[in-house]
Each structure stands twice: as structure tokens, then as C-alpha cells.
Structure 1
Amino acid sequence: MVMWEGDPARGQIPRSWGEQECRELFEQFGSVYQLNVLRDKTTQASRGCCFVTFYRRADAIAAQAALHNIRVLPQMHHPVQMKPADSENRNGTSVSLF
């Protein structure tokens, strides 16, 4: 059994994308542990950003290497910005992102 390793990564996505489209993009690089599209609390519309956590850190690094500042997604004008999410707040204590 493969266990989850590491922190989630966050990246910009088209606002029309939901969890399914994001999962299809990221599963090219490995098994996705958790995926969360950020949504407006009132309208539930996508904010154009998501958090993705892979089971393996190597898969997250591969996704970042292939996408960050390289790939332009449909409906977007700039390449994906994908980077590890902050796992600690300013006080140095752990923060849950989900």
C-alpha cells in the first residue's frame, strides 16, 4: 500500500474546471490522494485555484516540473503556476489546508 507523503501543491486552473477535470490533469503524473478546488462560499463558483496532494512526493515533483511556468491550460492566457502549499503558518505551527 502506498502512503501519502508530503504537503499539497496548489496551482491555477480555469474557473470552469471542477474536481473531475483537475483529477484528469494531475493523474497523468501519479495517484492523487486528495484534490480540492477552491470555491466562493456564497456562489460556490470556482476561484481558479486548487490544492492537490499526491500519494508520492515524486509524483508531485514530476507534475510541478511538467506544468509550472510551462503548460498553458485551456481558457488560460498564462502558464500554470504550481508550487508546494505552505504547511505552516507564521507562528511555526502546523496548519490543516482541508
Structure 2
Amino acid sequence: MLGADEFAAIEREFTVEGAALDSAVEEGAHELAAARLNDGELPELDFWDAHDRLHDDADAQASRINGEGVHAQLSFLSEGCGRDALRALLRDLLTPA
């Protein structure tokens, strides 16, 4: 999880707007859903039912995170890829400040 100092450093380095991160959060949530599916989560369901349930949950999770704003988005993305990869992602997606 990112601390207040890390958020401040990112905000100084980049012009961070939540809308620019929406797609990255959605993609990250669906990557996690695919990993959970491949790990055999929801074995009581057939493959496609498990797939649909996990990806529907990913849609809901991404929507919730995106609705909570930039700090929630950055926290989610940093958990999925780590701080260094987050900075690389932000360099690709955002305008330096």
C-alpha cells in the first residue's frame, strides 16, 4: 500500500487524473480474475460459469475502485505490480508534471 509520502511524490511527478487510470484498473482487475480462474477458484462451477462470476466480480471491483478516486486507483495498481512497475505504467499513461 502506498503511503502519504509516496502519493505526494507521484502527484509531484505526474499529472494524475482518475479517468486516465480507469482502464488500467479494469485491466488489472481482470488479470487477477483470470489468475484466480486458472488457479481453480470456484471448482464447484463449470469453467464458463466460474469465468463469468470471477470476471463479473472484477467489473464490480474495478468500478468501485475507479469510483473511489485516484488514491484508491494508485493503491490497487501498486499492489498488483509494485512501486517501480507502477511508475513505469504511469510514465506510459500520464503526462509528467
TM-score by length of 2: 0.32
Could you say which structure has the larger radius of gyration? 2
Which structure has the higher relative contact order (CA within 8 Å, separation 6+)? 2
Structure with greater helix percent: 2
Structure with greater strand percent: 1
